[in-house]
Structure 1
């Protein structure tokens, strides 16, 4: 049955332009991923009747994968499937596929296709505004590959779910939150979604609600982000999660890893303590894959302060260069100040000038200028294949006494303080963020190649005194290597 649906889907993809499907955030699940996702559900032996929901069902690949699994379980006799799909074109394919499956299914099977907006159609029930108190339909199992599409903050879907929205949301986490609402108590949901929700302020409200009402039981990671939706040519850091609707987290979370969506039989398996994976007041989800990752988290979580707690903060560079072309200069001139880019970071130091185009700026806009004082510069973007995600450089204002102000380009982050940073404090921050331990921590926290200030500002750090002490040791040895930073940090862990 699944092979037939997959073949029908392939024909649909070939005749439907990608740009047309992109309007709906439509990317289809592979056969192997669907089978793996269906395998994650725990089917109780005393459950003869099963209610399934597939929101954003597409062509029905996930539904049919779960139907095939249920077909092999003798105790299950009655299956009821509800599919949401409001794209008329693919809904026709879904109807065809489910009718074909129904005619061949061995158990009592009913299905319903709802041609409506999954989020908006449940707005009143979700927000408990119905006068008759109807709480919406509830399901035993929900399996989903939601649309990946950013919407405006005033889009109907965002307005329908104000409790989880912050700014302009993405449809995928609205689908996940609504699915949790549609689950019965102790019901299970399995979703394939981007990993971006696991950290950051943007998803905080969703995380806090989701992890309060459900417990994560299984997370699957893909090593290659371009292998999850191979036929779609999509670069997406995607994970598969299984969650159970209850407020009692399990003792541990199973974390599996595969190279792509075609080699689940060759996956690795690791069990991590729940409190290690879901941790902190922000409810970040740390995607650990081995005991070394757990040791990294445990080592740094001994410190319970963050940069903002000790009067420091990472910020994003002030100048978007392509929007201020008229102010840029290639060479020093009257009233020009240095504009620092990530390319100015060389082996832990900030080298200026570097002979780079547009490394000076002439402007009176206060928003583009900052005081010339000590900073730790951190590259905001790195290449996926680079060994380190955190790459930083020590900036000391005394090297550029001729300037009262400087500017930083938008692709560079910098750590600043309420009070001016001393030289030993900047050096101590360098010890932290140039160490292997902090780089590993950040990679566990965030899978993207972008270094976000929100995540950095949430990472645990020691007290100011300890950081300054580390800086003094670095200034003494005058060795900015990663090994040197590791040696210094190790003596404080």
Structure 2
């Protein structure tokens, strides 16, 4: 007999072939592969002695995830009846979803009833979510929720964003609104399994979401894909994607299971690592540190012994001030009256800041105060690096005394800079270089953030030693006169 999931996948492939991606993109619609759906369905724990289950699929598409879960429940003798609710408001695919579910109901041994809701998943529950209808009855809650939510940025004043004010900051993405609503839709001790981008695990945009999510539930399993372009292989989605399993509970487990595979095609060949829960979900920001082995846990534990951050010791990483293409008329290729240096990532070379470097537009003439900063000491850090580069954190020491002819300078917005160093000795700049040029800090940042962009918010949340220790590290670096990563590692190790 044909497997239910195979029938649905074949019907979905036909739909994809006839529906242009541009149309599906309007709904943030990307389809889960069969292998991924089967793996996700397998993550649920089926409660012992349970005869009936309620399941929610909040962005059902063609029903691949729902059917993968129904297929899994087929082999469970105790489960007798299943109630399935699917939300789908793309009119193009609702007929396919309905015919798939009807086909499955005719080919299952269980008593399955399904309901398709064509309302907007977020807006239709706005009143319940915000507690405007009093206590929500338990009948609206589910044992299991399985989801591949839409990946789509929306405006900060979009109806979905204003419907969930407690988790929104800036311009949100629909995927994490779906995840927050699904946690709300779970029964106590119910479980949700989602495939979503990893961007929510750190940064200020997602802080409110993480806070609410971890107040209501706990992560139990995270699955990572080594190759980010292999998750939606037929879809060419270049998004760092993970699978999470969370439980609606107040009690946190001791460990989280973290699994890894190369792609979404073969889940049998996966690495499995049990990480301490307190290492993975850490601190006031509730950042999620995606550790995959003991060395990475050790990196976090070693650096987290320090309790200060850059802002705690009077320093701050900021993003470069000048967006060059928006200020073309102010750019100059060579020094002239009133021109000041404009620093780019190309000026960061072997731990130093080299100027001039003979690149175009490396000077700027402007009256705009917002594009100028004091010519004082800084640590410059590149904002963008290539995925395959050895280091994510690449920095250079900038010393104001090397350019005494300028009172002000500017920085292009593709570099970051650490400010607050004016009254401090040059040793502090070199000490910061020791930290940010070390293997440990580079590893820490990669665990914290999967993208190739170095964000100032995350850097400002990383632990740093006390100021006198940073200064001592800098003195040591100046003494040995070697800016290499190995030297920085040796100096840092002697203080841990």
Q: Same fold (TM over 0.5)?
A: yes
Please tell me whether residue 213 in structure 1 is matched to residue 213 in structure 2: no
Q: Which residue of 2 aligns with 1:468?
A: 471
Structure 2's unaligned 5+ residue stretches are none
Q: Which residue of 2 aligns with 1:272?
A: 275
How high is the TM-score relative to the length of structure 2?
A: 0.98
Q: Which residue of 1 aligns with 2:205?
A: 202
State the Cα distance separating 1:298 from its structure 2 match: 0.3
Q: Which residue of 1 aligns with 2:383?
A: 380
Q: Deviations over 1:361-416 (max 9, x none)?
A: 00010000000000000000000000100000000011111111000000000000
CA distance in 1, matches of 2:227, 2:134: 49
Q: Which residue of 2 aligns with 1:363?
A: 366
Of 145, 149, 152, the residue aligned with 1:146 is 149
Q: Which residue of 2 aligns with 1:331?
A: 334
Check conservation: 2:377, 2:421, Cα contact below 8 A.
no
Q: Which residue of 1 aligns with 2:397?
A: 394
Check conservation: 1:216, 1:243, Cα contact below 8 A.
yes
Q: Which residue of 2 aligns with 1:291?
A: 294
Q: Deviations over 1:35-78 (max 9, x none)?
A: 00000000022110000000010000000000000011000010
State the Cα distance separating 1:96 from its structure 2 match: 1.2
Check conservation: 2:335, 2:363, Cα contact below 8 A.
yes
Check conservation: 2:138, 2:187, Cα contact below 8 A.
no
Check conservation: 1:392, 1:433, Cα contact below 8 A.
yes
Of 3, 6, 9, the residue aligned with 2:6 is 3
Q: Which residue of 1 aligns with 2:417?
A: 414
How high is the TM-score relative to the length of structure 1?
A: 0.99
Please tell me whether residue 123 in structure 1 is matched to residue 126 in structure 2: yes
Please tell me whether residue 71 in structure 1 is matched to residue 97 in structure 2: no
CA distance in 2, matches of 1:80, 1:11: 27
CA distance in 1, matches of 2:144, 2:388: 38
State the Cα distance separating 1:139 from its structure 2 match: 0.3
Q: Deviations over 1:65-104 (max 9, x none)?
A: 0000001100001011000000001111101111111111
Please tell me whether residue 19 in structure 1 is matched to residue 4 in structure 2: no
State the Cα distance separating 1:419 from its structure 2 match: 4.6
Check conservation: 1:332, 1:360, Cα contact below 8 A.
yes
State the Cα distance separating 1:418 from its structure 2 match: 6.8
Q: Which residue of 2 aligns with 1:239?
A: 242
Please tell me whether residue 59 in structure 1 is matched to residue 26 in structure 2: no
**Residue 356 of structure 1: SS of its match in structure 2?**
coil
Q: Which residue of 1 aligns with 2:426?
A: 423
Please tell me whether residue 262 in structure 1 is matched to residue 265 in structure 2: yes
Q: Which residue of 2 aligns with 1:435?
A: 438
Q: Deviations over 1:230-274 (max 9, x none)?
A: 100110100000000001110100000000001210100000110
**Residue 324 of structure 1: SS of its match in structure 2?**
helix
CA distance in 2, matches of 1:478, 1:132: 67
CA shift in 2, pair 1:477/1:418, >3 Å: closer
**Residue 143 of structure 1: SS of its match in structure 2?**
strand
CA shift in 2, pair 1:325/1:191, >3 Å: same
Q: Which residue of 2 aligns with 1:189?
A: 192
**Residue 275 of structure 2: SS of its match in structure 1?**
strand
Check conservation: 2:378, 2:421, Cα contact below 8 A.
no
CA distance in 1, matches of 2:424, 2:145: 52
Q: Which residue of 2 aligns with 1:447?
A: 450
Check conservation: 1:126, 1:135, Cα contact below 8 A.
no
Check conservation: 2:376, 2:421, Cα contact below 8 A.
no
CA distance in 2, matches of 1:142, 1:159: 24
Aligned length: 493
Of 376-385 and 419-428, more deviation after overlay is shown by 419-428
Check conservation: 2:148, 2:195, Cα contact below 8 A.
yes
**Residue 56 of structure 2: SS of its match in structure 1?**
strand
Q: Which residue of 2 aligns with 1:41?
A: 44
Check conservation: 1:390, 1:433, Cα contact below 8 A.
yes
Q: Which residue of 1 aligns with 2:85?
A: 82
Q: Which residue of 1 aligns with 2:494?
A: 491
CA distance in 2, matches of 1:132, 1:414: 49
CA distance in 2, matches of 1:58, 1:420: 59
Structure 1's unaligned 5+ residue stretches are none
State the Cα distance separating 1:131 from its structure 2 match: 5.5
Check conservation: 2:421, 2:429, Cα contact below 8 A.
no
CA distance in 2, matches of 1:328, 1:45: 69
Check conservation: 1:373, 1:420, Cα contact below 8 A.
no
Q: Which residue of 1 aligns with 2:34?
A: 31
